[in-house]
């Protein structure tokens, strides 16, 4: 049976290095199969995450040959196997060990986004009627599997480490799903501008490129929300109107 070489990052926050492994490969194998095989046979303490193995849970995010990918959806026959396949942890989050990073910030930041707030039920049976096309409009955002690869490549988080000022593409997608939800009546645009730093995004679209669910993050989520921030806070007419609405707490 054919073999392939893998260079896997081993180490923790204090430091580490690549370790080389050779393992058997078969038709149709994905990077995660190889990593699990290496773990089972050669490196039982190799730290990594995975669950569904089918691109649905978003656990096995890593950087494969430098590209942020899900290990379970990256086929070995799409990689050049004449050289070692490198597998590294995501860089935008603190390293725990080997391929496992501390992604808990994403969960904490999400909690600060105002939750779903539906309008009162519009039907006598206590439920709502919705059109399929209104539902379809947000399904793209609700497909997100929270793999955090978009956060990983966002230079605001990755290079500038602005986790406290900017919520990142994943959570803007989450906000977009709420803001465009057919029933939701909450206001989140002020927070996006102020505490959540949507202005930091300069639309390089790296997040869109790496999304394993093919969500058009920049064009469909970030840009429309940026436009709403502009409409609300920088449109002269709106600005004037706000002067006469003292109970509006959204400060420009």
Partner 1 sequence: MAQYEQYEHDVVVIGAGGAGLRAAIEAAAAGVSVGLVCKSLLGKAHTVMAEGGIAAAMANVDERDNWKVHFADTMRGGQYINNARMAELHAKEAPDRVRELEAWGALFDRTQDGRILQRNFGGHQYPRLAHVGDRTGLEMIRTLQDHGIHQGLDVHMECTIIALLKEGERVVGAFGYDRERGRFRLFRAKAVVLATGGIGRAFKVTSNSWEYTGDGHTLAYDAGAELMDMEFVQFHPTGMIWPLSVRGILVTEGVRGEGGILFNNDRKRFMFDDIPDLYRAQTTDDPEEGWRYTQGDQDARRPPELLTRDHVARCIVREIREGRGSPHGGVYLDISWIKEKLPNAAEHIQRKLPSMYHQFKQLANIDITKEPMEVGPTTHYVMGGIRVDADTQMSCVPGLFAAGECAAGLHGANRLGGNSLSDLLVFGQRAGEYAARFAQEHDGGKINEEQVEAIAQWALEPFARAESHTDGANAFQLQYALQEHMQDLVGIVRNEKDMASALDLIEQMKKPAANISVMGNREYNPGWHTGLDLHNLLTVAEAVTRSGLFRKESRGAHFREDFPDRDEALGKVNTILRKGPDGEMQVTQETIPDMPDELKQIIEEIR
By CB under 8 A, name the binding residues for partner 1.
12, 26-30, 33, 39-41, 44-59, 73, 75, 96-98, 100, 102-104, 107, 110-111, 115-116, 118, 121, 126-132, 135, 138-139, 142-143, 145-146, 174, 178, 181-184
Which residue, 28 or 66, is less far from partner 1 as judged by CB? 28
Closest distance of CB 7 from partner 1, Å: 19
Which residue, 150 or 226, is less far from partner 1 as judged by CB? 150
Residues 6+ away with beta carbon under 8 Å from 178: 113, 114, 115, 116, 184, 186, 188
Which residue, 47 or 229, is less far from partner 1 as judged by CB? 47
- The answer to whether 41 touches 63, Cβ cutoff 8 Å, is no
Closest distance of CB 5 from partner 1, Å: 18
β-pairing, 3-12 vs 15-24, is antiparallel
Which residue, 220 or 232, is less far from partner 1 as judged by CB? 220
Closest distance of CB 192 from partner 1, Å: 17
Task: Scan for tokens 């955002």, then name that residue.
Answer: 141
Task: Scan for tokens 């064009």, then name that residue.
Answer: 219
Which residue, 43 or 223, is less far from partner 1 as judged by CB? 43
Which residue, 40 or 224, is less far from partner 1 as judged by CB? 40
Tokens in use for 243?
């002067």
Which residue, 170 or 193, is less far from partner 1 as judged by CB? 170
Closest distance of CB 221 from partner 1, Å: 16
Closest distance of CB 135 from partner 1, Å: 5
Closest distance of CB 129 from partner 1, Å: 3
Closest distance of CB 173 from partner 1, Å: 12
């Amino acid at each position: 049976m054919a073999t392939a070489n893998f260079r896997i990052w081993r180490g923790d926050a204090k430091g580490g290095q690549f370790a080389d492994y050779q393992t058997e490969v078969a038709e149709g194998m994905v990077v995660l199969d190889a990593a699990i095989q290496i773990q089972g046979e050669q490196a039982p303490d190799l730290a990594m995450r995975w669950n569904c193995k089918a691109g649905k849970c978003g656990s096995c995010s890593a950087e494969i040959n430098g590209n942020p990918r899900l290990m379970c959806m990256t086929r070995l026959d799409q990689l050049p196997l004449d050289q070692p396949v490198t597998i590294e942890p995501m860089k935008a989050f603190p390293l725990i060990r080997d391929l496992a990073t501390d992604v808990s910030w994403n969960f904490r930041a999400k909690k600060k986004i105002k939750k779903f707030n539906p309008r009162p039920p519009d039907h006598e049976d206590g439920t709502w009627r919705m059109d399929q096309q209104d539902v379809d409009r947000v399904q793209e955002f609700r497909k997100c599997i929270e793999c955090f690869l978009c956060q990983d490549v966002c230079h605001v988080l990755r290079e500038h480490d602005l986790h406290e000022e900017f919520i990142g593409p994943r959570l803007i997608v989450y906000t977009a799903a709420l803001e465009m939800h057919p029933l939701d009546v909450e206001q989140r645009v002020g927070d996006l501008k102020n505490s959540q730093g949507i202005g930091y995004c300069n639309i390089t679209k790296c997040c869109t490129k790496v999304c394993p669910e093919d969500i058009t993050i920049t064009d469909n989520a970030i840009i429309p929300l940026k436009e709403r921030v502009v409409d609300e806070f920088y449109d002269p007419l709106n600005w004037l109107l706000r002067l006469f609405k003292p109970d509006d707490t959204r400060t420009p």
